[in-house]
Amino acid sequence: MTTAGNRTAEDGNAPIIVVEDLRKRYGDIQAVDGVSFSVERGEVFALLGPNGSGKTTTVEIIEGMRAADSGRATVDGIDVGKNPKAVKQHIGVQLQSSAFFEHLRLAELLKMLGSIYGLSVDPEPLLEAVDLAQRRSASFRTLSGGQKQRFAIAASLVNDPDVIFLDEPTTGLDPQARRRIWDLTLGWKAEGRTVVLTTHYMEEAEELCDRVAVMDGGRIIAMAPPGELIDDLIARGFEREHEVRLATLEDVFLDLTGRSLREF
């Protein structure tokens, strides 16, 4: 794996992702309507919004999975629209479970994915990172839903990416597994990687993200660090209807059952 020092030395201080006036229409629906933002190197950045807000389409354009009607997106200085293949060498994308060959073993799948990038991949550290080392010889189809989700995250790391895209990475996971993904995300940030995620869990975005962009109707309607957005809401006179407790039910659950993952 590349060291954090090497990432900084090679990449400099410019934003690693720059998005300028992106637009995408599907028939009568303007899915992305003039979206612009940048993401700093080593930042954890989230696109938030209700279903249909345009966040997934925006991310897919940046990943080179979908072409924009107009506008521009660059990753590490590479124009995504002009050279999507080159961009894929720099990014890791959390794939959906349907993208994997179900009858292959986990270690075999990671080696095969590495070969796509022309790399010889050691699957062990990738599986260990998501607590699936003991399942290395299991076929993908035998995994539980949560295990498939975690394997998809391991698969996103096969090319040692500078930027990792996570699409609702903790949906369907139990609290222990969810906290494990949080720890991984913060670990990637400490290594100098950049993480771009979408999530419907606002506490997840608040816990992990340096900045968030809130989308609705294909546009960014707010963008700032989570704490700044919360302070602004309070300054406008917002008051919660219920008293905020010092602990949550999830805290109770983790205290009673522990934080370690249990598969069986």
Question: Helices then strands (H, E): number in the chain?
Answer: 10, 10
DSSP classification of residue 240: -
What 3-state DSSP class applies to 129?
helix
C-beta separation of 137 from 129 below 8 A: no
C-beta separation of 166 from 197 below 8 A: yes
Tokens describing residue 143: 């995994």
Instruction: Identify the CA nearest to 59 among candidates 226, 215, 221, 223.
Output: 215
DSSP classification of residue 244: P
Q: Residue-wise pLDDT tens for the chain (264 aa)?
A: 443 434 444 456 899 999 999 999 999 999 999 999 999 999 999 999 999 999 999 999 999 999 999 999 999 999 999 999 999 999 999 976 667 988 999 999 999 999 988 999 999 999 999 999 999 999 999 998 888 989 999 999 999 999 999 999 998 888 888 888 999 999 999 999 999 999 999 999 999 999 999 999 999 999 999 999 999 998 988 887 777 778 777 788 777 777 676 554
pLDDT computed for residue 259 by the predictor: 66
The whole-angstrom separation of Cα 126 and Cα 155 is 8
pLDDT computed for residue 2 by the predictor: 40
pLDDT computed for residue 136 by the predictor: 93
Provide the strand spans (E) within 94-210: 163-167, 194-198
What residues contact residue 225 under an 8 Å CB cut-off, 6+ apart? 209, 210, 211, 212
pLDDT computed for residue 9 by the predictor: 41
Q: What backbone torsions phi and psi does residue 132 show, to the nearest 5 degrees?
A: -125, 15
The number of angstroms, rounded, from the C-alpha of 141 to the middle of its chain's C-alpha atoms is 23
Q: What is the pTM of this model?
A: 0.87
Instruction: Identify the CA nearest to 43 among candidates 219, 233, 209.
Output: 209
